[in-house]
Amino acid sequence: MKPVLTKLINFTTFKLYNTQLTVVKDTFFRKKVTINAGGRLLDLSSPGVMGIINITPDSFFADSRKPGVDEALLQAQKMLANGATFLDIGAYSSRPGAVDISAQEETDRLLPVVEAIAAQFPEAIMSIDTFRAGVAEAAIKGGAHIINDISGGMLDTDMFSTVARLNVPYILMHMKGTPQTMNQLAEYDDVFGEVFDYFVAKYSELKRLGVHDVILDPGFGFAKKSEHSYTLMNRMNEFDLLGLPILAGISRKRMIYGLLGNTAAEALNGTTVLNTIALMKGANILRAHDVKEAVEAVKIWEACVAQ
């Protein structure tokens, strides 16, 4: 196994000495593959697909923009019919250089959609893509179940305590800076080591607060150049040492279309290839614009590993 960190860490399942990772067999535990979302126990040993619904006018992939309630409901219906385990609803565009909007505007965009989906599709498990604790809480009270925070609590110091108080699953993503500044911060001596250290520190803080269900997201493309994202993808299975479910969010991103020389609109084939690699590297959730294709990738991968 490749060296991981540059400092000594003791963290329940492993010890790192002089950059060399050593598994401590006596304390090693299996990867957690279940989460409790809205009173429903979800088993992610069979990977789930999270369909993306953007209640925004400016998300990077135009076909994901569903700014009205009716459009969002139709998209939710389609994604659930195609096998989505989760719906990820976002009202703040986090693409590089996106326009910053107020918490009130984000809430005003988000809540009508959350409430409408909860009413029309009560079986739907909704994740809320926000870094603001107040927006997250309003959405949970409106019928959502999971908080998906691109900032890992760094852009709102109330986020972790809010997640603990609401007792909901939390998706912990790695990012540096903000959507407006992250491209200028994409510099690393060891991108895997930095992200790993970040997860160790943040998860320890969440555990102290009593947060039980945490999902890790390496944050592909967030304050990362393409080479950083591919390094993280190649080593993603090593995050299993933290014993937590992994989310891979690579759908139609620049790491795909920049490499292939096409556009986000043309990046479905590349996304399917990379989703398959993510499954091979231990992903438990695929966050995707194209649910049908992602579900098919999961089925094919499962049939292969079952042999």
- 65 DSSP assignment: B
Nearest to 127 by CA among 49, 179, 208, 33: 49
Reported for 62-70, long-range contacts at CB under 8 A and 24+ positions apart, including other chains, are 62/264, 62/265, 63/265, 63/289, 64/289, 67/109, 69/112, 69/113, 69/116
Distance CA 2, CA 7 (A): 15
Q: Is 78 a catalytic residue?
A: no
Per-residue HEC secondary structure of 192-249 comes to HHHHHHHHHHHHHHHHHHCCCCEEEECCCCCCCCHHHHHHHHHCHHHHHHHCCCEEEC
Check if the beta carbon of residue 204 is closer than 8 Å to that of residue 243: no
Q: Is 281 a catalytic residue?
A: no
Q: Scanning the structure block, which residue is given the tokens 């933290």? A: 242
Amino acid at 39: G
Amino acid at 7: K
Kindly name the residue from 253, 254, 292, 299 that is annotated as catalytic. Answer: 253
SS3 state at 25: coil
Give all strands of the β-sheet with 170-173 in edge-to-edge order: 214-217, 170-173, 146-149, 126-129, 86-90, 48-54, 285-288, 247-248
Tokens of 276: 């398959």
Tokens of 172: 């912990």
Kindly name the residue from 132, 224, 252, 287 that is annotated as catalytic. Answer: 287
Distance CA 286, CA 267 (A): 16
Distance CA 127, CA 165 (A): 17
**Residues labelled catalytic:** 253, 287
